Amino acid sequence: MSVVVGVGGGDVAVEDDTAGRRADGDVVTVALQAASEASRPTYRSYLNKAVAVWGSRRLDEVLPDEVRDFLGRVQATAVARRSNAGGTTAIRNAYQALSFLYRYAVQRGFLGEQQVVLRLVEMPRRQPSRRHAVNPELISQIFRVARETGVDPELDVLLLRFHLETAARTCGALALRVRDLDVDQSLVQLWEKGGTRRWQPVSPTLMGHLLDHARRRGARDDGDKVFRRLDRAPMTRKRYESLWGRLRGRLESVRVMHISTHWLRHTTVTWVERNFGYAVARAYAGHAVSHFGKYGSTHAYVKAGVEEIAAALQALTGERHPLAPPSDSATAVEGVSAAVGLHRVVDGAVERVELREWLRAEDARTAGLKSLSEWVLALYEEAGRIGRPRPGRDELVGITGASVYAVRAAQRKVAGLLRRRAQDELAVRIRRLYEEAEAAGMPRPNRGALAEATGATVSAVRGALARLGMPVREREQDARHRDLVGRIRRLCREAELAGMPRPGRAALMRATGESAHAVKLAQADIRACGGVWAD
């Protein structure tokens, strides 16, 4: 038996070669009944396109080049939506639809494994995601527009708060029912893709507003949906489309970057990973635990429990959570900044929750300092003037209101600055010792004598001597290297702002006109300083 790609109207029928006649039934229709409900519309669209191209040919007669031509035609005719990636998503969907049809034919015995032509056609690669964490200022603007526009700002703001606090997918919010709310433990049960479900901690404030919203809008039974429209009907996916359509019309960054609800998930999970580690971030996002990979078997054992997720949520919102360990109470995490822009609805009016900024404290700018690293340096210098030890990381977090991740990056930068400053001061002292020795008619002291006279290590003296003896050519090369580092950082920033991946080494060589060795050294210097976004 063999599958015939139908003769019109989208039919795909089964032909019995021995009988010389076609069997009854539309195989596409029957096969699609075996597909999941989420995949069925996509599969039907691309299988109908395959029927239109291949007509009455049998699947075992289709050649690999013809499959590639079909995928190319799908890419050329793909609808250019706001998230268009050059038709690569359409190619992957078409490939998966064909793979489903061939798989069904093999399972029914219409084709043999060796007759599946897709074995000879490579699966198109998935393009890297352009989504990333949204900066705090833009999150605040998104909440402001949501609460000041639209016919139902209460639902819009509550929905944004829910996604930013839980990092839930849109399907999790749409499926949320009253019975999924555990008020005593401040947990919500999320039903998400693949039929998975998990309990996610939420703040007591959000839990109260979810219950109040559901009851005021007609949710009476445990099986009723939580998020509901003004007419008391359950919210649908169209609510997201209208909300982000309104935001794109009023915020240029949202329109240009194609920001959607899933970007809020990226924002929260990124913050959790920076402050609480990978295992907690993975559990917070509800990602499956992989039992294989470069981390080996240990990767499957490193899991975070609901208590650790609650501790991260407590730090994010500034509210005590009943499941968070006592050591991770709100007082213990005071000073750990959270994503700004979280709002809540109180008695129909919107009230802003007072949370500090995420990556950079506002006080640093109001004090006339350009960056957090300058603020840390000023605190170090102040401690030195009054004879006190330098403040530690936890103390810096409490003073500046910045996140642990931001303070750590600032400390690395300040340490490098202080190290260079110490080397310059040591070089000046060594030069003075050389001048004194020459004035006294004595030979210059060696490294051991210099180390003893200055109190520095021999290694530090060696570095200072290298700085003193640096010829003009090396100084020029050092300045050229610093200029190249700055140019590469600018190119990477421009690419990320345009939603494109960072340029590779070959592209940087063409753009800067420098050698591969020079670009490689500049990239290593950038990574050592904390990435392209380091000041």
Tell me if 518 sits within 8 A of 481, measured CB to CB.
Answer: yes
Of the candidate ranges 6-20, 330-344, 482-496, the one whose mean pLDDT is the lowest: 330-344
Distances (CA, A) of 433 to 420, 467, 468, 470: 20, 15, 13, 18
At 163 the pLDDT is 93
3-state helix, strand, coil in the chain (%, to 5): 60, 5, 35
Of the candidate ranges 101-105, 109-113, 278-282, the one whose mean pLDDT is the lowest: 109-113
Confidence class of residue 281 from pLDDT cuts 50, 70 and 90?
confident
- Tell me what the pLDDT averaged over the chain comes to: 76
CA distance linking residue 465 with residue 32, whole number of Å? 76
Taking only the tens place, the pLDDT of each residue in 163-204 is 999 999 999 999 999 999 999 999 999 988 777 888 999 998
Q: Regarding predicted confidence, which is higher, 441 or 209?
A: 209
Six-digit token string for 282: 């993975």
At 317 the pLDDT is 83
In the numeric block, the tokens 């901690």 are attached to 201
- Residue range 128-142: mean pLDDT, rounded: 80
Task: List the one residue out of 404, 383, 421, 360 whose CA is nearest residue 391.
Answer: 383
Residue 16: its H or E element: strand 12-16
- Residue range 237-250: mean pLDDT, rounded: 90
Which pTM value belongs to this model? Answer: 0.51
CA distance linking residue 127 with residue 87, whole number of Å? 10
At 84 the pLDDT is 57
- Residue range 212-233: mean pLDDT, rounded: 91
**Sequence-separated (6 or more) residues with CB below 8 Å from residue 22:** 4, 13, 14, 15, 16
CA distance linking residue 144 with residue 490, whole number of Å? 31
Taking only the tens place, the pLDDT of each residue in 55-94 is 767 777 788 888 888 888 887 777 655 555 556 778 788 8
HEC string for 342-374: CEEEECCEEEECCCCCCCCCHHHHHCCCCCHHH
Distances (CA, A) of 100 to 36, 107, 112, 115, 340: 11, 10, 15, 14, 44
